[in-house]
Amino acid sequence: MPQITNLRLLFSSPNPTTFLSSFKPNSLFKPNTKIPTKFNKPNYSSYPFFTCLSSSRKSHSKSFNSNRRISSSSLKKSEMGEKRGLSSMKMDDEVAESKKIGFNKKRAEGRDKSSRVKDLKLKVRRLNPVNTISYVQVLGTGMDTQDTSPSVLLFFDKQRFIFNAGEGLQRFCTEHKIKLSKIDHIFLSRVCSETAGGLPGLLLTLAGTGEEGMSVNVWGPSDFKYLVDAMKSFIPNAAMVHTRCFGPSPKSDKIPDNLEKLNDQLKLIDDEVVKISAILLRPSSSETNGIKKDEFALKSSDISVLYICELPEIRGKFDPEKARALGLRPGPKYRELQEGISVKSDTKNIMVHPDDVLGPSVPGPIVLLVDCPTLSHFRELLSASSIETYYADVASMPEENRKTVNCVIHLSPALVVNSSDYQKWMSRFGGAEHILAGHQMKNIEIPILQSSARVAARLNYLCPQFFPAPGFWSLQQLKCSTSPVMAEDTGLKLCETISAENLLKFHLRPYAQLGLDRTGIPATAAPREIIEDLLSEIPEISDAAQQVARLWREDEHASEAASDNNMIEEPWLNQSAVPSCLEGITRENVEIVLLGTGSSQPSKYRNVSSVFINLFSKGSLLLDCGEGTLGQLKRRFGIQGADDAVRGLRFIWISHIHADHHTGLARILALRRDLLKGVPHEPLVVIGPRQLKRFLDAYERLEELDMQFLDCRHTTKASLAAFESNYNQSDNYEPSSGNKVDSVKPKVSDSILFAKGSPMQSHWKRPGSPVDSTLAHPIMEKLTDVLGDAGLESIISFPVVHCPQAFGVVLKGADRLHSDGRRIIPGWKIVYSGDTRPCPELVEASQGATVLIHEATFEDALVEEAIARNHSTTKEAIEVGDAAGAYRIILTHFSQRYPKIPVFDESHMHKTCIAFDMMSINFADLHVLPRVLPYLKLLFKNEMVVDESDELESAVSLAA
């Protein structure tokens, strides 16, 4: 691991730009720098390209020790061993080149072994129709944040079915130890971001489960095909080979001539344990008044599905006396009769039928899942003849055809459910139990992710300035809300209903247990109880909280906070001079909110990547938008506050195409579209790698996202300069020679990071896909106006070393006039690294940054894995910031092997802080930021040594 030494030489230079430019091509890292031999030919066969980007191998899991450090003697021994090993083998050119520069070249190009597509197999279950256990259970995703549809689990001891997979489903299952590897089928009641936002991440997780990976059947209305096509832009095809569409062909955009066919009951599954069928509902034709029929196009998000789950009847008890009386001898024929097969009598010339020897059968339980998003869908449901056999009040229905419904789970919103017509319809099911699982007001105050809520409460107690209280509204506030989502208790209640609670069950088998079961509903802990537990566990935390509060009251050079014996501050915490850009800064200028600080996939304590830049009266920005970003916004700002934040978005910037950085985008865009419906506004600009445009274009066939896309390559330094000078200029990225000036750092344009004669841009700009400046020009003009309105001078993207088309970004605030009216205060500068290895482009872009937000996926001892996966270690991230002269460094994107707090060497943290979900850093508080770190160490002192086998098993691998 001697590359750290070389990096330290680079980053300790007083002028890194001069230092870098003094190198010849390929001399940035010394030729004798070596990657340990066990990573010469890395084995990634169990890691699919787009999933588990930073999960560890089991060998690391077993040997992990958060206290271990690398000694100089062990480094020397390692180098000697490497030299002996390498001398006996012939390295190919690519591996040798990668070793010189300390990154995985094949991964950066998208050619590493982990990109191989697995032949994912469906699980084969041996079903058990006799003595089976079965229930339906409400999975409370989105109940507290109102941002996504709850899921419903249909459980059998040998099979699992999930209805709807909104954002946060994976994280919810991790929290409540629901094993996703056991899921056989997923059904969507609608195809939109509200019901399917968690599907991409779920498919990727299953594809990465175990050595071979696994797949599930995913069912949806016909236009589900469009979602599959969209996901193929970043998910291997094999992960979606078992997607199944039903209903009218998506190729036909017109309303079918025979509308009755749309309402037919479609049988999807019919096996020994359950029959699942579907009835499609589309908006009533009355909604199309004034529109010609041939102009009315159905979109998948317009179609909803009512699912009917029917368990087989329970046969009556076998009567051997009746069997003997009919001439049957004990033997195999007894079993055949019990299985429903007629047999011939042994002594009489007659056929014996099961009904002749069995007692009365017990009808199988029936469950309906109803999703009527609008009253128009409900009117269509009223006209569906295929559901009439399930009504209890149809007198003309023959008794043998009548079916008794035991439970109806309503996913419809309160606005629909509380209408008088809907209430009358509910009463037609006789004594069925009605569970209201739409967004109910009572669930707002009950956090679904209790583990992260517990950590958030502890952090808020210690440092409320950086960890504000969650933004959930109280019920009293909600009752004053005019939001239609909160409409409740309006209308006549014609039948008894049950408000769904998280993990509420309705038992179906055994028959003796038929009915509701609340025993699995998690107990909730009030914030006061959480703090009492904290004070009992760490008594000195009370004094620490008071000392943290004093940091805001004292002069920046005061040292009283270090005087208490219970809390000894680190000796290096001498504050550096505040940069001029922060002079006169107020609390209404800039705030950085870390919405997601984990990597790869959501876990109990950390969501995936997203950074919210709050510019207050001038709007807001999002840098990356992993799954669950909207839910995190609502946890931070509350229901109304998050809506306001989404309305005020100026643009969204996405670093690269890996799923943990962008799969929350569609949900944010869909909400913004709905919030601004009927209000004059411009489409939102989304800046990202070109693969993202393929996803968004395909997704817009499902639902309108009201956005305009701009390739990151249009926002590089060179491209922006060309736009300003002459937007009709031909493609600026096609170099006329191998030494084309780099788009971000012309001073070090000769620095070659990959193979000899192959500049970095050759891996983020593929041949045959030139940047079309003409098409981008109007969006660039709009972006210029947006930046001005947001108080920004510029946004500049730059290539980094991670995967093809990976970028970092620089946000530069505009200069402002001092309060004295005579001086100009320079604008602040925020740099976000995205996912990357340390590279000169990032060092150059970060020069003089006010804040550098840098990924730190791995601890220092795992530098080998960081190289293999093109991520950074904690120390490497800090060294980049030091080399660039950044004022503050925020470390984020931690591997999920560190569930609460990552492993770090505090001796290098004099300008650095560790990020946590919901951490809110106001620029007025930047001078205090590093001083809080020792207190955070105290808060997590009992968890600094992590037992991976406990947390990693549930948070990352989920397979068992």
Contacts by 815-818, CB closer than 8 A, 24 or more apart: 818/583, 818/584
Nearest by Cα to 757 from 97, 92, 16, 95: 97
The answer, yes or no, to whether residue 633 has pLDDT greater than 80, is yes
Q: How confident is the model at residue 446 (pLDDT cuts 50, 70, 90)?
A: confident
Question: CATH number of 134-314+362-517: 3.50.50.60, 3.60.15.10, 3.40.50.620, 3.40.250.10?
Answer: 3.60.15.10
C-alpha torsion 778→784→785→788, nearest 10: 180
The tens digit of pLDDT for each residue in 792-807 reads: 999 999 999 999 999 9
Q: Please work out, in degrees rounded to the nearest 5, the angle formed at the alpha carbon of residue 257 by the alpha carbons of 255 and 263.
A: 75
Phi, psi angles (nearest 5°) of residue 870: 55, 50
Which residues, listed in sequence order, are joined to residue 598 by a DSSP beta bridge? 894
343 three-class SS:
strand
**pLDDT average, residue stretch 710-722:** 93
Question: Which region among 143-152, 405-414, 514-523, 680-689 has the lowest average model confidence (pLDDT)?
Answer: 143-152
How many degrees, rounded to 5, is the angle at CA 583 between CA 577 and CA 589?
A: 120
The pLDDT-based confidence of 297 (bands split at 50, 70, 90) is: very low
pLDDT reported for residue 457 = 94
> What is the band of 272 on the pLDDT scale with cuts at 50, 70, 90?
confident
Beta-carbon contacts of residue 952 (< 8 Å; ≥ 6 apart): 55, 56, 61, 896, 897, 899
Instruction: Report, as an integer, the average pLDDT of 462-488.
Output: 64
Looking at mean pLDDT, say which of 214-223, 594-603, 774-783, 826-835 comes out highest. Answer: 826-835
Q: How confident is the model at residue 91 (pLDDT cuts 50, 70, 90)?
A: very low
Tens digit of each residue's pLDDT (9 = 90 or more) over 735-776 = 433 333 333 333 333 333 333 333 333 333 333 344 556 778
Question: What are 835's two structure tokens?
Answer: 């996912």
The confidence score (pLDDT) of residue 249 equals 66
892 — phi, psi (to 5°)?
A: -150, -175
| pLDDT at position 442 over 50 | yes
Structure tokens at 777: 């020009």
pLDDT at 129: 62
Contact of 624 with 610, CB cutoff 8 Å = yes
Q: Which single residue is written with the structure tokens 């079961």?
A: 517
Between residues 876 and 316, the one the model is more confident about:
876
- How open is the CA angle 467-667-650, to the nearest 5 degrees? 70
pLDDT (tens digit per residue) in 675-708: 999 999 999 999 999 999 999 999 998 899 999 9
Is residue 426 scored above 80 in pLDDT? yes
Each residue's pLDDT tens digit, 319-345: 899 999 999 999 999 988 888 899 999
- Distance (Å, whole) CA 608 – CA 917: 9
Element (H, E) at 455: helix 450-462
Can you tell me which residue has the tokens 């009040």? Answer: 393
Asked if 156 contacts 510 with a C-beta cutoff of 8 angstroms, the reply is: no
Comparing C-alpha atoms, which of 39, 46, 7, 101 is closest to residue 868?
39
Helix, strand, coil % over all residues of the chain, rounded to 5: 35, 15, 45
Fold of 570-957: Metallo-beta-lactamase; Chain A (3.60.15)
Q: Which residue has the higher pLDDT, 766 or 215?
A: 215
Sheet holding 243-246, edge to edge: 243-246, 217-221, 185-187, 160-163, 151-156, 134-139, 505-509, 515-517
Chain Cα centroid distance, residue 771: 30
Residue 210 or residue 635, greater confidence: 635
pLDDT at 242: 84
Given the structure tokens 């904290």, which residue do they identify? 534
Asked whether the CA dihedral 130, 133, 135, 139 is positive or negative, the reply is: negative
CB 832 within 8 A of CB 809: yes
Average per-residue pLDDT for the chain: 78
What interhelical angle do 773-789 and 717-725 show, nearest 10?
100
Instruction: Provide the residue type at 753 as one letter.
Output: L
Region at 489 (left for phi over 0; alpha for psi -120 to 50; beta for the rest) = left
Residue 842 DSSP symbol: H
In contact, 608 and 623? CB cutoff 8 Å: no
Query: Under a CB-based contact definition with an 8 Å cutoff, are residues 390 and 429 in contact?
Result: yes
Give per-residue pLDDT as tens, 34-53. 333 333 333 333 323 222 33
Window from 352-361, 405-414, 420-429 with minimum mean pLDDT: 352-361
For residue 497, pLDDT beyond 70: yes
Question: Which range is most confident: 92-106, 297-311, 362-376?
Answer: 362-376
Backbone angles phi, psi at 133, to 5 degrees: -105, 135
Pairing of strands 343-344, 351-352: antiparallel
pLDDT score for 34: 35
Give the DSSP per-residue string, 187-225.
E-SS-SHHHHTTHHHHHHHHHTSTTT--B-EEEEETTHH
DSSP state of 588: T
Write down the pTM of the prediction. 0.80
Residue 659 is which amino acid?
A
Q: How many CB atoms lie within 10 A of CB 356?
A: 17
Count of C-beta atoms within a 10 Å radius of residue 296? 15
For 751, how many CA atoms within 13 A lie in the half-sphere containing its CB?
26
End-to-end CA distance of the chain: 35
In the three-class reduction of DSSP (H, G, I as helix; E, B as strand; rest coil), residue 240 is classed as: helix
CA distance 111 to 104: 10
Confidence of residue 895 (pLDDT cuts 50, 70, 90): very high
Note whether 548 and 573 are within 8 A (CB): no
pLDDT in the model for residue 838: 96
Return the pLDDT at 68.
36
pLDDT of 514 reads 95
pLDDT at residue 840, as a whole number: 95
Alpha-carbon span 320 to 344, nearest angstrom: 15
For the segment 859-867, the average pLDDT, to the nearest whole number, is 93
CATH 3.60.15.10 in the chain, residues? 134-314+362-517, 570-957
Residue 951 has pLDDT above 50, yes or no: no
Distance separating alpha carbons of residues 357 and 319, to the nearest angstrom = 5
Read off the pLDDT of each residue in 597-621 and give the average, rounded to a whole number: 95
Mean pLDDT of the region 164-175:
93
Q: Is the pLDDT of residue 460 over 90?
A: yes
Closest Cα partner for 799 from 826, 831, 769, 836?
A: 836
Rounded Cα distance between 892 and 599, Å, is 9
Range 451-467 average pLDDT: 95
- For 117-127, the pLDDT digits (tens) are 556 666 666 66
pLDDT score for 944: 55
Higher pLDDT: 624 or 234? It is 624
Do the Cβ atoms of 763 and 754 come closer than 8 Å? Answer: yes
Instruction: Tokens for 844, please give them.
Output: 């150059």
714 pLDDT more than 70 = yes
Give the pLDDT score at 648.
Answer: 97
Portion of the chain with pLDDT greater than 70, in percent? 72
* pLDDT attached to residue 261: 57
Instruction: Give every CB contact of residue 549 below 8 A, 6+ residues apart in sequence.
Output: none
* pLDDT of 569: 44
Give the distance between the most distant pair of CA atoms in the chain: 115
